[in-house]
Amino acid sequence: MIHAKLQTGEQAGTYVIPEAVTESELLDMAQRLARRRLARGRILRGPASVYRALQTRLLDRDHEVFGIVYLDNRHRILGVEELFRGTIDGTVVYPREVVKEALRHGAAAVILVHNNPSGHLEPSVADERITDRLRQALELVEVRVLDHVIVSTEGYSSLAERGRL
């Protein structure tokens, strides 16, 4: 497989592809860019940056995935992990596992994230309930929940922006 290279464009945040590429190569480049956006030590500044960083990773799924972005005390990325895989319309999330993984990563804060294959952006009652349960569980070990971002083909929704956190 030939790996087309991305070159930085003239404007910040733009790239130039110097040769023709296949769809497969283009998707591969998008995945590499997504990994770069989620690299250890990077800072995510708000829900829009979380969406941009995770959209390539989560949007092509036909099932729900619940993940965590682990952050240090300065909100730099320590790691990103998909913890639970569900069906087309839901995922079972276990607070005990979330706490265990947050401690394993040495996280001071987390951003909860899940995709919504249906495209629906309005947080469900179940989304709010699990966010509250995880916030309470993580609070016991002094890990803050900064946000819960829902990613879909229609964009994103942030529980923190909606005042529901």
pLDDT at position 66? 94
If we measure between CA atoms, which residue out of 146, 165, 160, 144 comes closest to residue 99?
A: 144
Angle among Cα 58, 75, 161 to the nearest 5 degrees reads 65
Helices 125-139 and 95-105 cross at an angle (nearest 10°) of 50
pLDDT at position 4? 57
For residue 165, the Cα-to-chain-centroid distance in whole angstroms is 17
pLDDT at position 14? 64
Burial label, 72 (beta-carbon count in 10 A; 0-12, 13-18, 19+): middle
Does the predicted model carry a pTM greater than 0.85? no
CB contact at 8 A, 65 and 91: yes
Helices 47-58 and 23-37 cross at an angle (nearest 10°) of 140
pLDDT at position 29? 61
pLDDT at position 17? 67
pLDDT at position 147? 96
Residue-by-residue pLDDT tens, the chain, 165 positions: 445 565 555 665 666 666 677 766 666 666 666 555 565 667 777 888 888 877 777 767 788 999 999 999 999 999 999 999 988 778 899 999 999 999 999 999 999 999 888 878 889 999 999 999 999 999 999 999 999 999 888 888 999 999 988
pLDDT at position 45? 78
**Domain 41-158 fold:** Cytidine Deaminase; domain 2 (3.40.140)
The Cα 12–Cα 164 span in angstroms is 34
Residue 57 in 3-state DSSP?
A: helix
The Cα 78–Cα 32 span in angstroms is 18
CB contact at 8 A, 102 and 141: yes
Listed by start position, the domains of the chain span 1-37, 41-158
pLDDT at position 104? 97
